[in-house]
Amino acid sequence: MLAIAAALIAVRSAAQQELMLYQTSDLWHAHAANPALFPKDKRLFVGGPTIGLDATHSGNIAYNDLLRREDGRAILDLGGAIGKLELENTLRLDQRNERLLLGARLGGWYLSAGWSQRTTATATYPRALAELLWYGNGPYVGQVLDIGPAISTVRWEELSAGLARNIGQNLRLGIRLKYLSGTAMLLSDAERYRIRVYTEPDVYQLSLQTDYAFYSSSLIGAVDTSGFGYDLSFNALRNRLGQNSGIGFDAGLQLQLGERLSLSVSALDLGGRIAWRKNTAYFHSQGTFNYNGVFLPGTDILNGTVDSLDFGAALDSLNDVLNFQKTDAELTTSLPARYYAAVQWQLLKNWRIGAVVHHQRDERRQNTAVGFSGHWTPIPWLTVGAMYSINDRSATNVGLSATVRIGPLQAFALSDNALNAVTPYRSAAVNFRLGAALVF
Amino acid sequence: MTHKNTLRPLLWVFILSGALAACQKFSLDELEVAERTGEYAFPLFSTSIGLKDLVLKVLNDSLDSDTIVINPDQTMTLFYSGDVAEKPASDIFRFFNFPEVPVPINDTFYVYPFNTPDSVYIRRVEVASGTLNLVVNNARNQPITGTFHILQMSKNGQPFSIPFSVPARQTFISPPIPLKDYTLASDSNRLEFRYEAYLPDGTRIKIDDILPGIAGIGILIQGFTAAYMEGYWGYSEYPLTLDTIDIDINQTNLKGNVKVKNPKVTMTITNSWGFPTRGVVKYLSFIGRDGKEYPLKSSVFFGDSIDFNYPSWAAGEIGKTKETHVVLDSTNSNIAEIFNAQPVRLIYEVAGISNARKDPSIVGFLTDKSTIALRMKVELLLEGSAQDFGAEQTLGVNFGEFADFDTSRIEAVEFKIVTENNTPIGAALQLYFLDDDGRVLDSLFTGPPPFVIKAPSVNGNGITTSTARAETFAPMDVARFSQVRQAKSMLLRAAFTTAQNGQVPVKLLATQGIALRMGLKVRTRLGGKP
């Protein structure tokens, strides 16, 4: 649960939003979702940093369920959240910090370049883990608690260069090559994620079985379990640009069918892989620890030769079980590919409606969302939009967007789930994006 | 705190899921964890106690494994033994005490009565060792020759004789003549010596006295022992043993009542004396815990005596050993009633009487290895019942880091004691926590000690048929716990009661035992401001 809180706190700075962003095609930042999308009739595009968030937690867990403010202090309180947890819970996080996004039109050609920082993370954890940590093992005597989480977290810097071209009057094709430089990675071994705790109802004999392993680059440098505790060394080694690298592709098209109808399709992060070779290690803990208390030979008791009941000494072996063996490793991680298909219909001069389908898939997660949008431009410098969307966790998402154009400036705020966007601390799914660009 | 530390390592796996974000924007140190109540459960200790060890301990530290015997059916028997009173025949019957100076032979035919105990008549002796020297003094002016005979002594059918030749005015001393393997045959407890002495002219003479009344011929017998004696042993009484046996089971300073089913006193006589011997019980009494004397009376005795088995000459049992077992139990004595008084020792005195029936026709014998040994035992099969039979033990204890742990956040603790018992003994336990000076800080249980160890049911033979499991909880508030964890020792006080509330006899088997385990639950406030 600390992880959840930490994640939610951390992603306040930026995020990627895809459904509403994709349908707000007159924004320059929509180009991030489809390399074939460029604002109409413009030649030069300068995108600034964006701030956004796209994070969800299964069930109905919200930030405020975990954290609260009290006398200026941040208080982590899992008491309310645990009751809302499901047996197995998933935290998803996708983060895209657009640092700079440039574009230019040269006749029928379009050029683009960008620099962004991206994170994709999934953590699946059992409720038992939160319960054990929050309430102790006392309430769970006699229950086997499997508490090993499955974690997949990758952060990378992305440098891109794109090229698009009009094919005829109605079709534009775009492609983008991306150079990926991994900065941090944490990936649990799908074959080794068992951490099992059992407290026997007899006299509370403890049993701990571990066969848990993870890969880490930069993020965790060492795990020290001496003294029955843990000591994680974070960020001991930082990955520099290019030390762990890979490439990926984006491709897209936009097809104008007549005056009013347009279709667009994009595929992002195709073939995206990062080879982790530097500062990458494999941590593995495997063992069984059974603690039955101090054993006293009966004859010692009878003879009164028990010098001392030393409760601490017998726990020494716990360190051996929990100890993580660290070995250097190399690993290639794949980025989750994402796909968009959308249609927009210019209903009236200042009304546009549309539909969009988004699909994301990788080894550990797969989700699909469908949205139906409408955009209204009541006055030349303002466009507002709304969207109803369905995704894997909710069928009642209402998105909103607002784009203000003042001269070359585009400023926007949008969300796939507007209610949550304005109350992010009370929502299990948070999605919004804020940003600005200059288009000429 | 240890239990907390046990769980702490698990925390990191949570952190993993958000560590990526944490490393950039979020510091765990800045986050305050909400106060809550958590509960940790962990084991403290376990032990198992074998019944044999328990019995040895409860009864007396000085008991050794020879005292308690595991029978083939795994029952256990306590044996309390007196010293073995072993008497070689030579301690009682002293024969052939030949003088250390030569035996004078006052005439050419001389009868020498050898020393035998009263009423014993020896008719045959086989010599095991010894030597004989013949001394002849010739006071005459001419040499003397002759032969000395012992008429009752022969070897391989040849009578014993020594020729001698003594020059004039000289003394003849023969070399030592080994007597081993000679046989003495006499029916009158006497030896007959005869000699013939001659002058050179053939005149038979009597050796002249050296001085008036002091014979000029004699024999010196040294180191004489008999390998075998045969004859008639008449009526004669002699002491055998006087001893005391401590009954440890009743010498503990513990309270309670123990009833032993079917106690026994066994007297074992190992006898290789070849003539009838009657044991006479001069004194046989238990001394109770109250100091009173409780005479042990038995129908086994004829009056106060019993005839011991013996190897019979007539039956050709020379060299054999016969045993006599005298068992005094509840069927033939008042021992059961005596044990109700929890006797602490047995005192006994036994004498022997040879040929108590004064039968002159009985031919008896002794060999140089003949002994009679008497061993008295008190034999207690551990089958009985007990009520509130108390025992106690002090154990050192050091709570280590528990002793220094800040208990201000602890709300309560609860000890859990689990026992698994297949002995027929249940026990109420109380554990007292003591400080350095032995003062009681607190006890584990408030109120009367609970039956922490339950006795399983027993079958008709008094043997348990199952294992009884008992769970006992001892809740303790933090104030008491704070005291307890400062303890330096623990006094374990137990009161044992056998199955069915000590109403039926039970058997204690060596294979039986008790497993005892203790765990602890701690309910504590976690998080919040320290």
Tens-place pLDDT, residues B173-195 = 999 999 999 999 987 788 899 99
Q: How far apart are CA B178 and CA A318, in angstroms?
A: 84
User: Chain A contacts of B523, Cβ < 8 Å?
Assistant: 138
CA-based nearest residue in chain B for residue A290: B43
Average pLDDT, chain A: 84
* pLDDT value at A166 more than 90: yes
| Number of CB atoms found within 10 A of residue A388's CB | 15
Judge: A136–B526 Cβ closer than 8 Å, yes or no.
Answer: yes
Query: Angle at Cα B129 formed by Cα B124 and Cα B133, nearest 5°?
Result: 100
Judge: A5–B397 Cβ closer than 8 Å, yes or no.
Answer: no
Residue B3, pLDDT score: 33
DSSP state of B333: B
Residue A104, pLDDT score: 96
Question: In angstroms, what separates the C-alpha of A295 from chain B's closest C-alpha?
Answer: 5
Tens-place pLDDT, residues B103-158 = 899 999 999 887 777 778 888 999 999 999 999 999 999 999 999 999 999 999 89
Name the helix (H) or strand (E) containing A23: helix A19-23
Task: Say which residue, A201 or B385, is predicted with more confidence.
Answer: A201
Question: In angstroms, what separates the C-alpha of A290 from chain B's closest C-alpha?
Answer: 11
Query: Angle at Cα B492 formed by Cα B44 and Cα B289, nearest 5°?
Result: 160
Which alpha helices (H) appear in B416-517, and where do they start and end?
A: 478-484, 499-502
Residue B499, pLDDT score: 86
* pLDDT value at A212 more than 80: yes
Size of interface A-B (CB pairs under 8 A): 270
Q: pLDDT band for position B79 (50/70/90)?
A: confident
**Which has the closest alpha carbon to A41: A140, A110, A118?**
A110
Give the one of A119, A125, A292 whose C-beta lies nearest to B17's C-beta.
Answer: A125
Q: pLDDT band for position B6 (50/70/90)?
A: very low
DSSP state of A411: E
Residue A318, pLDDT score: 55
Q: How far apart are CA A313 and CA B343, in angstroms?
A: 48
Judge: A136–B398 Cβ closer than 8 Å, yes or no.
Answer: no
Residue A363, pLDDT score: 67
CA-based nearest residue in chain A for residue B58: A302
Q: pLDDT band for position B21 (50/70/90)?
A: very low
> For testing the chain B interface, which of A1, A2, A230, A285 should be mutated: the one with the most B CBs within 10 Å?
A2
Q: How far apart are CA A236 and CA B44, in angstroms?
A: 39
The pLDDT of B38-49, averaged and rounded, is 87
The pLDDT of B192-219, averaged and rounded, is 92
Judge: A315–B2 Cβ closer than 8 Å, yes or no.
Answer: yes
* pLDDT value at B14 more than 70: no
The pLDDT of A140-169, averaged and rounded, is 93
User: Chain A contacts of B32, Cβ < 8 Å?
Assistant: 73-76
* pLDDT value at A332 more than 90: yes
User: Chain B contacts of A6, Cβ < 8 Å?
Assistant: 15, 18-19, 21-22, 26, 28
Residue A213, pLDDT score: 93
Q: Are B20 and B477 in contact (CB under 8 A)?
A: no
* pLDDT value at B340 more than 90: no
Question: In angstroms, what separates the C-alpha of A154 from chain B's closest C-alpha?
Answer: 8
The pLDDT of B4-31, averaged and rounded, is 39
Tens-place pLDDT, residues B310-333 = 999 999 999 899 999 999 999 999
The pLDDT of A329-353, averaged and rounded, is 93
Judge: A214–B16 Cβ closer than 8 Å, yes or no.
Answer: yes
Residue B253, pLDDT score: 52
Q: Which of A8-22, B262-276, B475-489 shows the lowest per-residue confidence on average (mean pLDDT)?
A: A8-22
Residue B206, pLDDT score: 93
Taking each helix axis from N to C end, the angle separating B2-25 and A127-135, rounded to the nearest 10 degrees, works out to 120
Question: In angstroms, what separates the C-alpha of B352 from chain A's closest C-alpha?
Answer: 44
**Residue A153 lies in domain:** 2-439
Question: In angstroms, what separates the C-alpha of A265 from chain B's closest C-alpha?
Answer: 32
Q: Which of A132-141, A302-311, B222-231, B421-430 shows the lowest per-residue confidence on average (mean pLDDT)?
A: A302-311
* pLDDT value at B469 more than 90: yes
CA distances from A201 to A261, A344, B454 (A): 68, 63, 19
The pLDDT of A6-29, averaged and rounded, is 63
Give the one of B6, B43, B492 whose C-beta lies nearest to A293's C-beta.
Answer: B43
User: Chain A contacts of B12, Cβ < 8 Å?
Assistant: 223, 230, 232
**Which has the closest alpha carbon to A43: A32, A30, A28?**
A28
Q: Which of A101-105, B11-15, B210-214, B382-386 shows the lowest per-residue confidence on average (mean pLDDT)?
A: B11-15
* pLDDT value at B2 more than 50: no
User: Of A249-258, B84-93, B275-284, B427-436, which has the strongest mean pLDDT?
Assistant: A249-258
CB burial string A126-163: b at 16+ within 10 A, e below:
bbbbbbbbbbbbbebbeeebbbbbbbbbbbbbbebebe
Task: Say which residue, A304 or B469, is predicted with more confidence.
Answer: B469
The pLDDT of B397-409, averaged and rounded, is 67
Residue A231, pLDDT score: 55
Residue A403, pLDDT score: 94
Tokens of residue B242, six digits: 């006087």
CA-based nearest residue in chain B for residue A229: B9
Question: In angstroms, what separates the C-alpha of B343 from chain A's closest C-alpha?
Answer: 25
Residue A304, pLDDT score: 66
Q: pLDDT band for position B524 (50/70/90)?
A: confident
> For testing the chain A interface, which of B12, B13, B252 should be mutated: the one with the most A CBs within 10 Å?
B13
**Which has the closest alpha carbon to B322: B309, B304, B335?**
B309
CA-based nearest residue in chain A for residue B47: A296
Q: How far apart are CA A388 and CA A407, in angstroms?
A: 30
Judge: B41–A76 Cβ closer than 8 Å, yes or no.
Answer: no
Residue A236, pLDDT score: 54
* pLDDT value at A360 more than 50: yes
Give the one of A3, A186, A199 whose C-beta lies nearest to B41's C-beta.
Answer: A199
CA-based nearest residue in chain A for residue B472: A203
Judge: A73–B32 Cβ closer than 8 Å, yes or no.
Answer: yes
Residue B75, pLDDT score: 79
User: Chain B contacts of A230, Cβ < 8 Å?
Assistant: 8-9, 11-12
CA distances from A13 to A17, B24, B207, B209, B267 (A): 13, 11, 146, 145, 99
Give the one of A123, A155, A206 whose C-beta lies nearest to B42's C-beta.
Answer: A206
* pLDDT value at A308 more than 70: no
CA-based nearest residue in chain A for residue B41: A138
Average pLDDT, chain B: 83
Q: pLDDT band for position B421 (50/70/90)?
A: very high
Q: Are B77 and B380 in contact (CB under 8 A)?
A: yes
Question: In angstroms, what separates the C-alpha of A427 from chain B's closest C-alpha?
Answer: 18
Tokens of residue B493, six digits: 């006080």
Tens-place pLDDT, residues B258-275 = 677 788 999 899 999 999
The pLDDT of A262-267, averaged and rounded, is 96
pLDDT > 70: percent of chain B: 86
Task: Say which residue, B96 or B465, is predicted with more confidence.
Answer: B465
Q: How far apart are CA A397 and CA A387, in angstroms?
A: 8
What is the number of structural domains in chain A?
Answer: 1
* pLDDT value at A54 more than 90: no
CA distances from A72 to A66, A212, A399, B31, B372 (A): 16, 38, 32, 11, 100
Q: How far apart are CA B128 and CA B184, in angstroms?
A: 11
Question: In angstroms, what separates the C-alpha of B332 from chain A's closest C-alpha?
Answer: 38
Question: In angstroms, what separates the C-alpha of A82 from chain B's closest C-alpha?
Answer: 13
> For testing the chain B interface, which of A157, A204, A296, A308 should be mutated: the one with the most B CBs within 10 Å?
A204
Residue B235, pLDDT score: 87
The pLDDT of B216-243, averaged and rounded, is 88
pLDDT > 90: percent of chain A: 44
Q: pLDDT band for position A141 (50/70/90)?
A: very high
A91: domain CATH number is: 2.40.160
Tens-place pLDDT, residues B438-466 = 899 999 998 889 999 999 999 988 889 99
Judge: A293–B45 Cβ closer than 8 Å, yes or no.
Answer: yes
* pLDDT value at A110 more than 50: yes
Judge: A2–B11 Cβ closer than 8 Å, yes or no.
Answer: yes
* pLDDT value at B12 more than 60: no
Q: How far apart are CA B283 and CA B336, in angstroms?
A: 19
* pLDDT value at A14 more than 60: no
Judge: A11–B22 Cβ closer than 8 Å, yes or no.
Answer: no
